[in-house]
């Protein structure tokens, strides 16, 4: 809760620089089987409102549902 990020739509080509990836649609707990030790953060898609899980230190994500890309990189 103290780690809220401000997501902005990525306007560039491809994907933003830095750490990131596709959000997970659900069952983030199940993902710990393959990624034990990783801390996940929940995000709410800025476009479709779907909730997804991403790495806590990710700087961008692509929504699993609508395919929109958001980034914390504000320039």
Tell me, residue by residue from 48 to 67, as one string, x for binding to Zn ion by CB under 5 A and - for no binding: x-x------------x-xx-
**Nearest to Zn ion of 40, 70 (CB atom):** 70
Tell me the CB-side half-sphere exposure of residue 70, using CA atoms within 13 A. 20
Neighbour-count burial for 37-60, b at 16+ CB within 10 Å, e otherwise? eeebbebebeeeebebbbbeebbb
**Nearest to Zn ion of 40, 45 (CB atom):** 45
Of 6-14, 20-28, 37-45, 54-62: span binding Zn ion (CB under 5 A) = 37-45
CB of 8 to Zn ion, least distance (A): 14
Find out whether 72 and 9 touch, Cβ atoms under 8 Å: no
CB of 64 to Zn ion, least distance (A): 8
């Amino acid at each position: 809760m103290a780690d809220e990020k401000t997501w902005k739509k990525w306007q560039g080509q491809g994907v933003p620089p830095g750490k990131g990836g596709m959000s997970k649609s659900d069952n983030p707990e199940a993902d710990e089987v393959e990624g034990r030790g990783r801390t996940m953060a929940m995000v709410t898609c800025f476009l479709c409102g779907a909730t997804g899980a991403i790495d806590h230190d990710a700087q961008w994500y692509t929504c699993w549902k609508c395919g929109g890309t958001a980034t914390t990189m504000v320039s």
